[in-house]
Amino acid sequence: EHLIDQIKAGEVVERPANVLKELLENSIDANSSKVRVTILNNGLDLIAIEDNGDGMFFDELPYAFCRHATSKINNFEDIYRLNTFGFRGEALASISSVARISCHSAPRANPEQGAKFVIHGAQTVEHSKYASHKCGTSTYVKDLFFNTPVRLKFVKSGQSEKNALKRVINSFLINYPHVEFAITWEDNDPEIYRAQDDIKTRIGEIFKKKSRKHRPEIFDTDGEYLGSHCKMYISKDSSKGYSGKQQYLFVNNRLFTDKKLHQIIIRNMEKIWQPGQTGDYIMQLHVPENEIDVNVHPNKTIIKFLKANEIFSLTSATAKKLISENED
Ligand code: ADP
Ligand code: MG
């Protein structure tokens, strides 16, 4: 029974960044307006998420750690979402089978009726009362892969884990500008990202390079084609090489990678970047859920578009529009 849990967990939880993504998604789903993130030892020692969202009642909390215990499938559209992004209602169960989790939660309706729940490697350690003045959920994932040494060994170098964690955090910063985030890495001071009405302010913070004082100029535009939408943000700054580049593709708020779409954007932006250089970009696609391939793994960030040529056309047209709108 435990072995099966651990094998299943391996499908969802390959590395710390997967845990972070699932926990942040839950906080967003719970309507949080403030989220604090703390990461120690690149997520292997601690990934802590504290939110001010809807919270859970005493009886609900243990159930959140049971397989298939999702509260989120209510209608037909949700089933598309389920098929599209794979496992639903499995994340907390999977994570709890390969880590030591301590969670306390207080429901919005009555924050005094909350609970604390502790679970180590799928074994419940504690379920006790927790009374608070404000609603929200705090989840502490400690000692990730403590009981799966092979998995622990395969987690890559510190820097590559850190980059993966940063990419997850930036994805949420970009897609949820109205949410305030406080991010603490190791023993450093928290990085605060205030809630923004204007997504461009948030994107400016992400595109800003530590080595340069100024905020980069950002070009943006949008496009629409046959029921799909596209928003594009491009930093005017460019530089050589690939390290430290902020380049993101999203479909329906989910991060994915696609070489062809990347190439379309890079080629069109040659007109604004310095010769031989590239810069930061963000593209947010919104595509009907039933026009995305249903057989993709939640952690493989590859998406198959059923109308791929239309998406290529939309991307190319939007890139050209952005250039023509910003020609000197
Ligand atoms: P899913 O998000 O797919 O439903 P999870 O395993 O991620 O599955 O979470 C299980 C359930 O636990 C959620 O459906 C939700 O009801 C509850 N839950 C998890 N995290 C939070 C949170 N931060 N705030 C409120 N409820 C939460
Ligand atoms: Mg979830």
Q: Which atom of ligand 1 is nearest to the CA of 93?
A: 6
Checking DSSP bridges between strand 228-235 and strand 247-251, what pairing results, if any?
A: unpaired
CB atoms within 10 A of CB 267: 11
Containing H/E element for 199? helix 199-207
Identify the pLDDT of residue 78. 58
Kindly state whether residue 203 falls inside one of the protein's structural domains.
no
Kindly state whether residue 236 falls inside one of the protein's structural domains.
yes
CB neighbour class for 188 (10 Å; exposed up to 12, middle 13-18, buried from 19): exposed
CB atoms within 10 A of CB 148: 19
**What's the chain's average pLDDT?**
89
> Measured between alpha carbons, how far is 234 from 118 in angstroms, rounded to an integer?
44
- What tens digit of pLDDT does each residue of 111-143 get? 999 999 999 999 999 999 999 999 999 999 999
Residues 183, 216 within the same domain:
no
Identify the pLDDT of residue 83. 39
> Measured between alpha carbons, how far is 105 from 129 in angstroms, rounded to an integer?
10
Ligand 1: lining residues by beta carbon, under 6 Å: 22, 26-27, 30, 51, 53-56, 64, 69-72, 88-93, 137
Ligand found nearest the CA of 27 = 1
What domain range is 276 assigned to? 210-325
Average pLDDT in the 166-195 region? 96
Average pLDDT in the 171-194 region? 96
pLDDT surpasses 70 at 92? yes
Indicate which residue's Cα is closest to atom 26 of ligand 1. Answer: 55
Identify the pLDDT of residue 296. 57
Least confident of 79-88, 109-118, 141-150, 265-274: 79-88
pLDDT surpasses 80 at 211? no
- For 287, the token pair is 């595509």
What is residue 113's DSSP assignment?
Answer: G
> Measured between alpha carbons, how far is 72 from 243 in angstroms, rounded to an integer?
38
Kindly state whether residue 198 falls inside one of the protein's structural domains.
no
Distance in Å, CA 103 to ligand 1 centroid: 12
Q: Which of 294, 285, 227 has its CA nearest to residue 258?
A: 285
**Strand, helix or coil at 54?**
coil
Residues 147, 234 within the same domain:
no
Q: Which atom of ligand 1 is nearest to the CA of 69?
A: 10
Distance in Å, CA 282 to ligand 1 centroid: 28
- For 192, the token pair is 């605060």
CB atoms within 10 A of CB 47: 28
Residues 121, 258 within the same domain:
no
Kindly state whether residue 53 falls inside one of the protein's structural domains.
yes
- Asked if ipTM goes beyond 0.90, one says yes
Identify the pLDDT of residue 84. 37
Residues 52, 22 within the same domain:
yes
Enter the pTM of the model: 0.92
Average pLDDT in the 159-184 region? 95
Identify the pLDDT of residue 40. 96
Q: How confident is the model at residue 300 (pLDDT cuts 50, 70, 90)?
A: low
- What tens digit of pLDDT does each residue of 73-83 get? 665 555 555 43
* Residue 279 CA: distances (Å) to CA of 182, 220, 315, 320: 26, 14, 17, 16
Q: Which atom of ligand 1 is nearest to the CA of 54?
A: 25
Residues 149, 268 within the same domain:
no
- What tens digit of pLDDT does each residue of 16-56 get? 999 999 999 999 999 999 999 999 999 999 999 999 999 99
Question: Rounded to 5, what percent of the chain is helix, strand, coil?
Answer: 35, 25, 40
Tell me the backbone φ, ψ of residue 40, rounded to 5 degrees: -120, 140
- The CATH number of residue 254's host domain is 3.30.230.10
Kindly state whether residue 276 falls inside one of the protein's structural domains.
yes
Residues 176, 241 within the same domain:
no
Indicate which residue's Cα is closest to atom 7 of ligand 1. Answer: 91
19, 26, 104: residue to mutate for ligand 1 pocket, most atoms within 8 A of CB = 26
Residues 178, 279 within the same domain:
no
Residues 280, 173 within the same domain:
no
- For 134, the token pair is 């404000």
Identify the pLDDT of residue 189. 97
Residues 168, 222 within the same domain:
no
Structural domains of the chain, count = 2
Residues 218, 264 within the same domain:
yes
Residues 224, 112 within the same domain:
no
